[in-house]
Structure 1
Amino acid sequence: MLAILQRFLRTRFLLTEDMAEPAEIQAAVEAGIPFQGTNLWVLIFAILVASVGLNVNSTAVIIGAMLISPLMGPIVGIGFGAATLELGLIRRGFRSLLTATGISLVVSALYFRLTPLIDAGTELLARTQPTTWDVLIALFGGAAGAVGLTRRARSNVIPGVAIATALMPPLCTAGYGLATAHWAYLGGALYLFSINCVFISFSTFLVVQLLPLPKHAFADKQHARRVRLVILGLALLTAAPSVYLAIGIVQEGTFTHNAKQFIDEQFNQQPGTYVVTSRLVASEQRINVLLAGQRLTPAQLRAARTHLPQYHLANAQLVVRQGIAHVDSADAQALRSSVLADVRSRNEQTLVSYEGRLAQLQQLLNHIGSPTTGGGLPPAADLLREVQVEHPAVRQLGLSRLVVPAADSLRADTTVIVALHTRPALPPAEQQRLVAWLQLRAGGRQSVQLLVAPAAAP
């Protein structure tokens, strides 16, 4: 049984079956390392595209920049060289990576220095505070990239890795910090970029170690061992600060969630009392609430404070102010942001509702006008010929539909309008017979209304 399981696992997880030839892999790695000519121009254009995307807060543009960026080449080359003990490859990879980093910083800083849009959007701010999750993304993404690089058939793995590990946006964010003197942005973005570089190289090193690729032989084995230890040590040193940052972010998120739940259950559910604004400062464990409406008594406020430990907020400082007279500038800004967010949310909901109703009407009209609808009236020209067989006085005929949609479904009342020009005029009895015939011709599913007007004399 154990032998069967081992054979199954070996068959399913075998990496050598579709592996490319070692010479082909080596050539692909070396081709992506140098930054000159085409690679250099593509890098510059990718930097500008990413900078524009960060500047206008466009996720799609940033993804496009990551796809065309050639930054993965030297990073993979460093890991590949470390695994195969090719010191020349490692040195070329480091030189190219430093060159690309410098060019990226200069070009992005020049762009952000010249652009009139200087506010930092959410896409840019997201690249200023790396966490442990960025380490995991770079590690697993780099491993996927290394596996894809060593296959005979090229797939979408490498573009996917370029998007997941996001090498270009942190560099452009660092350029923004350099151009605007936001040194915290510069440091955080460069740290995120270094995390991606180190762990993509490290995961490439691990994957290549598993593959039967030829390795450079050193006369001194101690030298080869030192190279590997340096790679491992650099990875550990890079990961350590990110763990600290991740713990801080998790604690902040937990505090915010618990504080919002506390405010909602202890204040928003009080009869006649409304929360105007709430400010949560996780770093200081402070909850600042502004209330309006029915004032809470000191006993009610003390009772609310006694519930703080139930929300894991035993050390939190609760500040409650009651009445609009206590609004300060921070409250006004928070209230303005809340109102704008509410208006934006309502507008989006209204737009979705209108689009849904429009889709319902379009679907209904398509159903009514479909030639497969049982018993439907034919086109006006064909219907005119049929009508003239029994009513030769009809000279012209037009068709239209009046749709009155229901409020809560796709079913709606539809009236078919048949407009006639006759010469001579149709007697009332003949008009009634025509309406009855049209109703029958329509299959009895639609109401038919007849509009008769005498045709002008020739």
Structure 2
Amino acid sequence: METPAENKNAFGEAVSNFKTFVRETFDIFHDTDRYATIDDIKAGVDMRGQNAWILIFSILIASTGLNVNSAAVVIGAMLISPLMGPILGMGLALGIYDTDLLKKSLKNFSVMVVLSLVTSFLFFSVPLFQNETNELINRTSPTVLDIIIALSGGFALIVAFSRRNRSTNTIAGVAIATALMPPLCTAGYGLATGKWHFFGGAMFLFMINTIFIATATYFVVKFLRFPLKEYADEKRKKRISHFITFVTLAIFIPSVFFFYQLYKKSDFEKCVGETLNKIQKQEGIGVFNIETDFQQQSVSFAVIGKSLDTHQIKKIQDHIASLGYENVQVSVLQDTENQQTLTRLSEIENSYVSNQQLLANKEAQLLEKDREIFALKEKLNNGSAISFVDIADEIKSLNDNVDGVAYYTILHTNFKAIDTIPNFVITFKKDTKQADINKEIAKYRKWLQSKLKNDRVVVKAE
């Protein structure tokens, strides 16, 4: 049986093993190549020669991908882009107090931005390439998720970059995830087309990505204890230290502000979406064309179906207020007069259909009366109970070339008696041969004389 002391030792050993496991799993110090990383980042800062040309060509590829709405082409452009170099340089410079590297990184970063904007501006200046695609639109409205991606990507990039055995897949993946190129291309599109909301939104997204990648680089450099740059003059070293601290705070504080603002914007849009989904289910209406403005604290949308009254709109405002956003202005695009007009139009259409049905019934009744009258006249004229309509239908059924049948009677007298002579005139189609017409007329004459039991029946062609 184990003693309490033995149990305590076993537990302590298990805890120690677990700590060792965690430390070995997450330790990034032992494989860090600090000096080689500094040299490589400094080498990648330059935006001259091949880097400048690669940047131009990658911007053209990315602009083409945005224009044809192809994510695959945009990803390919991001893989070959050298955009990350000056940004890593800025983060490293702040972390090791290297003002020369900071100046060089800022200079090359500015060159990079100008080259990218000019290249994309020239590309999108061609009218053929000015389509407003989804790939372009998606780069104009940054969210809090973009900050999370940029910060996480920056951490992953500098950690992978500082290894002795670097992971090319990680570096390539970060280049894709952080998406620095598409916002610059979209900003160029905004300049070329005069769509300033595209330019402003895309540049905001680009600056967010830049700041948070540099911030992540700074923190990892500090965490891994990269060697600080040595200065012979102690006073100069102190001034540079103060300057770098000031610049770091100048970057970090806006970063926190950006994060908070974008978080509140995303939360505001989420609350509005939940509220409108709820009102759709409760009122049985359709809601579309939703526009939210976090800065102005306003919401506008259109409804289809029944209109919303003042009480219902107030209910929407109260629900959004209960989620933490008071005094939100709600604008509903609806037209009560148009709804009344549609209702009245529906009533008129129904009335028209009813009248048409009544007219059709009246016409059918009148046609039936005409047939009865004609049949009675026929009986009076020749004593036959045979209907002209029936005879005409039979004639037509016997020959498809018949276009029409006419009937009239002639009163004839020899001054001893008066006879009523039935006359039928048959109209044939124009392409019917005369020989065929003569043959058919003779056949119809015999048939009608037999049917009407009257040898005086006359049948002729028109």
* TM-score class, shorter: 0.5 to 0.7
TM-score by length of structure 1 reads 0.61
Match of 1:144 in 2: 156
Q: Is the 8 A contact 1:44 1:107 kept in 2?
A: yes
Alignment partner for residue 120 of structure 1, among 125, 129, 132? 132
Quickly say closer, same or farther: Cα 1:11–1:44, change in 2 above 3 A.
Answer: same
- Using the alignment, how far apart are the partners of 2:309 and 2:18 within structure 1? 64
Q: Is the 8 A contact 2:271 2:320 kept in 1?
A: no
Match of 1:169 in 2: 182
Match of 1:280 in 2: 290
- Using the alignment, how far apart are the partners of 2:55 and 2:30 within structure 1? 34
More displaced stretch, 137-146 vs 115-124: 115-124
Q: Is the 8 A contact 1:35 1:96 kept in 2?
A: yes
- Using the alignment, how far apart are the partners of 1:246 and 1:123 within structure 2? 23
The superposition leaves residues 140-161 of structure 1 with CA deviations (integer Å, 9 ceiling, x where unpaired) of: 1111100000111121111111
Match of 1:225 in 2: 242
Match of 1:78 in 2: 90
Q: Residue 289 of structure 1: SS of its match in structure 2?
A: strand
Quickly say closer, same or farther: Cα 1:308–1:78, change in 2 above 3 A.
Answer: closer
Match of 2:171 in 1: 158
Match of 1:92 in 2: 104
Quickly say closer, same or farther: Cα 1:279–1:114, change in 2 above 3 A.
Answer: closer
TM-aligned CA deviation for residue 71 of structure 1: 0.5
- Using the alignment, how far apart are the partners of 1:96 and 1:281 within structure 2? 39
Q: Residue 32 of structure 1: SS of its match in structure 2?
A: helix
TM-aligned CA deviation for residue 302 of structure 1: 8.5
TM-aligned CA deviation for residue 228 of structure 1: 2.8
More displaced stretch, 100-109 vs 87-96: 87-96
Quickly say closer, same or farther: Cα 1:241–1:12, change in 2 above 3 A.
Answer: closer
Stretches of structure 1 lacking an aligned partner (at least 5 in a row)? 269-274, 329-458
| 2:305 counterpart of 1:291 | yes
Alignment partner for residue 36 of structure 1, among 27, 39, 48? 48
> Between Structure 1 and Structure 2, which shows a larger proportion of helix residues?
2
- Using the alignment, how far apart are the partners of 1:97 and 1:327 within structure 2? 61
TM-aligned CA deviation for residue 3 of structure 1: 5.1
Correspondence 1:161-310 to 2 at 5 A: 161-218=174-231, 219=234, 220-267=237-284, 275=286, 278-283=288-293, 284-291=298-305, 308=316
Amino acid at match of 2:270: G
Q: Residue 95 of structure 2: SS of its match in structure 1?
A: helix
The superposition leaves residues 64-83 of structure 1 with CA deviations (integer Å, 9 ceiling, x where unpaired) of: 11111110011111111221
TM-score by length of structure 2 reads 0.61
The superposition leaves residues 181-240 of structure 1 with CA deviations (integer Å, 9 ceiling, x where unpaired) of: 122221221122112112111111111112243221232324213303312321322442
- Using the alignment, how far apart are the partners of 2:112 and 2:230 within structure 1? 30
TM-aligned CA deviation for residue 96 of structure 1: 1.0
Amino acid at match of 1:280: I
Stretches of structure 2 lacking an aligned partner (at least 5 in a row)? 1-11, 323-327, 343-462
Across the two proteins, how many residue pairs are aligned to each other?
Answer: 314
Correspondence 1:352-391 to 2 at 5 A: none
Q: Residue 288 of structure 1: SS of its match in structure 2?
A: strand
| 2:31 counterpart of 1:14 | no
Computed over aligned residues only, the root mean square deviation of the Cα atoms, in angstroms, reads 3.0
Q: Is the 8 A contact 1:78 1:89 kept in 2?
A: yes
Q: Is the 8 A contact 2:144 2:266 kept in 1?
A: no
